[in-house]
Structure 1
Amino acid sequence: MKIHAANVADTKPATKADAFDWVSVEQSLDARGNAILPSLLDADQCRSLAAMYGSEHGYRSRIVMARHGFGRGEYKYFAYPLPPLLDRLRHALYPHLAPIANRWNRLLRIDVQYPPDLDTFLGRCRAAGQTRPTPLILQYGEGDYNCLHQDLYGEHVFPLQVAILLSEPGDDFAGGEFVMTETASNGQHADVVALRRGDAVVFTVNHRPAAAKRGGVRKVAMRHGVSVVRRGKRHTVGLIFHDSR
C-alpha cells in the first residue's frame, strides 16, 4: 500500500511519542518531577518553529516578561488552530501523561481524574470557560531569564507540561538552563535540566507526590524557570495541556 507523504508527517509525532520508554519517564517524574524525551523534534523542525516567532500571524497575544515581573524576554501564545506539528504533538503526548496524572491525584487525594484523550479534556476546559489555547513559543536574548513560576490558568489544570528546546546550546546561545525547584516541609532544592536542541522535558506544573520519611505521601510544590542567557538567542516551545480563560 502506498502511503502519501502527508500521512507520514501526520503520524510521525505519535510514532515518536510511542517509542519512548514511558516506564522510565514515569520513574523520573516520580523521583525528580521532570523527565527528558530526547530528540523529540529534529533540527529542521526546530528551525522551522523558531523561525515562526517573527511572524505576526498565528498568535493570540505577545507577552513582554519585564512588564509583568516575569523576568526578561518575551513569548507568544499560539491561536487556534495550532500549527499542525504542535497540535499533533499535544495529542500524541497527552495519552501517555494522563495515567501518570491520574495516579498522582489518587496519591494526593485530589478528586480529579483526567480522560484518556486530549479532546475530551479540552471539552471539560471549554465547559468551564477555559477556551484560549496555552501552547506558546518563548524567545530569550542576552541577559534574559524567566522567573520561577507555575503555569496555572483556571479551574482545570493538567499537572504535567512539556517544553521543547529549539536552539542548540553552545552554538546558538550560552547559559539559559532549564531550572526546577522543589519545596516541601523538609526544605528546598534546585535541579538544572540539561537539554540539547530537539529535546523535550516533561515536568510538574504545580505539585507532585513524594514519599514521606515516615511512610505515606507528602505534597511537593514545584516551580520552573530559565537561568540568565549569557550569549546568543534561545527559543523554546511550551506545550500546556489545559486551556485558559
Structure 2
Amino acid sequence: MDIPSRISNLNWMKLKEEINDKGFVITAPLLNKIECNQLIHLYQKDELYRNQINMSHYRFGDGEYKYYGDPLPPIIEELRKGMYPNLAEVANSWSESLKTGVRYPLNLEDFLLECAGSNQTKPTPLILRYEEGGYNCLHQDLYGDKYFPFQVVFLLSNENDFTGGEFLLVEQRPRAQSRGFVITLKQGEGLVFPTNFKPSHGKRGYYRVKMRHGVSTIHSGTRYTLGVIFHNAE
C-alpha cells in the first residue's frame, strides 16, 4: 500500500476527536521499516538539504538537524500533501472556536501560495539526529508570520535502538502552572501536535493555550526523526 493510501485509510474521525480533546494524537505507522531506513541512509547526502544546524552552536540543545531543499524527496512530499487536508479541517475548526478570523485552504498547494505571498518560500521539512547525551530544548517552529497550526514528527529509528529521547510537549496555561506530556513513538508512527497554541474551553468560552515541544536526553544509541512542517520559511 502506498503512502497516500495509508493516510486515507487512517481513522480520521477518531484522530480528529483525539486532537480536539488533547491537542495531539499518534497515528498508526505511515512509514515502513524500509522507508525509515532509506531516509536515515540519505542523511549523508548533503545535496538533498538546504541547511544544516548544529544545535549546540545556538544553544538549542545537543544534536543536529538538516532542512530538505526543493524538490522534497517523494516520500516526504507525499506525507506533507496527504496529511494536510484533514488537518486543515481541524485547523479551521480551531480558528472558529478562537475567533482568529484565519481560514486555511483545504489543499497544501494553495496554502504554500499564501506562504509565498508572505515571502516564505523555503521548505521546512527536516530530519533530526541525536546521539548519546543529545536533547532538544523546548521551542516552537514558526518561521514567519504565516504558519500552519499543526506539524507531524515521525520516528525513523527503531525504538529499541536508543534509550531516553522521549518527545516532550508542554502546555503553558495562562495564570496557571504548565502541564507536560511525555510521548514515546514506535518506528514509522507519526505524532500530530500544535505548532503554536491550541484552544481550551473555559467559563468565558475558548482561549489560547501556548504549546512548546522538545526532546529529552538520549541515554544511549542514536535517534533519527523526520519533522513534517507544512508552512514554508522566510
Q: TM-score range by the shorter chain?
A: over 0.9
Which residue of 1 is the match for residue 23 of structure 2? 33
Do structure 1's residue 20 and structure 2's residue 10 form an aligned pair?
Answer: yes
Distance in structure 2 (CA, Å) of the matches to 1:128 and 1:216? 31
Q: Which residues of 2 match residues 174-213 of structure 1 at below 5 A?
A: 174-185=163-174, 186-212=176-202
Can you give the 5+ residue segments of structure 2 that lack an aligned partner in the other structure? none
Which residue of 2 is the match for residue 4 of structure 1? none
Do structure 1's residue 150 and structure 2's residue 130 form an aligned pair?
Answer: no
Which residue of 1 is the match for residue 46 of structure 2? 56
Q: Which residue identity does 2:225 align to in structure 1?
A: T
Distance in structure 2 (CA, Å) of the matches to 1:119 and 1:68? 32
Write the deviation string for residues 133-156 of structure 1: whole angstroms up to 9, x where unpaired: 000000000000000111011111
Q: Which residue identity does 1:182 align to in structure 2?
A: E
**Counterpart contact for 1:30–1:210, Cα < 8 Å:** no
TM-score by length of 2: 0.97
Which of 87, 94, 99 is the equivalent residue of 1:104?
Answer: 94
**Counterpart contact for 1:160–1:204, Cα < 8 Å:** yes
Can you give the 5+ residue segments of structure 1 that lack an aligned partner in the other structure? 1-7
Q: Report how many residues are paired.
A: 233
Distance in structure 2 (CA, Å) of the matches to 1:141 and 1:169? 14
- Once the two structures are TM-superposed, the CA of residue 68 in structure 1 deviates from its matched residue by 0.8
Which residue of 1 is the match for residue 162 of structure 2? 173
Which of 131, 134, 146 is the equivalent residue of 2:121?
Answer: 131
TM-score by length of 1: 0.93
- Once the two structures are TM-superposed, the CA of residue 21 in structure 1 deviates from its matched residue by 1.2
Do structure 1's residue 118 and structure 2's residue 108 form an aligned pair?
Answer: yes
Q: SS at 2:178's partner residue?
A: strand
Which residue of 1 is the match for residue 228 of structure 2? 239
Q: Which residues of 2 match residues 41-52 of structure 1 at below 5 A?
A: 41-52=31-42
Q: Which residue identity does 2:144 align to in structure 1?
A: G
Distance in structure 2 (CA, Å) of the matches to 1:117 and 1:207? 22
Which of 194, 199, 219 is the equivalent residue of 2:208?
Answer: 219
Q: SS at 1:57's partner residue?
A: helix
Q: Which residues of 2 match residues 60-99 of structure 1 at below 5 A?
A: 60-99=50-89
Distance in structure 1 (CA, Å) of the matches to 2:177 and 2:12? 29
RMSD: 1.0
Q: Which residue identity does 2:15 align to in structure 1?
A: V
- Once the two structures are TM-superposed, the CA of residue 31 in structure 1 deviates from its matched residue by 2.2
Q: Percent identity?
A: 42
Distance in structure 2 (CA, Å) of the matches to 1:21 and 1:188? 31
The 10-residue stretch of structure 1 (64-73 or 20-29) with the greater mean CA deviation from structure 2: 20-29
Write the deviation string for residues 36-60 of structure 1: whole angstroms up to 9, x where unpaired: 0121110000000011111211100
**Counterpart contact for 2:132–2:218, Cα < 8 Å:** yes
Q: Which residue identity does 1:175 align to in structure 2?
A: G
Write the deviation string for residues 189-218 of structure 1: whole angstroms up to 9, x where unpaired: 111112101111000000110111x25112
Distance in structure 1 (CA, Å) of the matches to 2:215 and 2:189? 15
Runs of 4+ residues over 2 Å off in structure 1: none
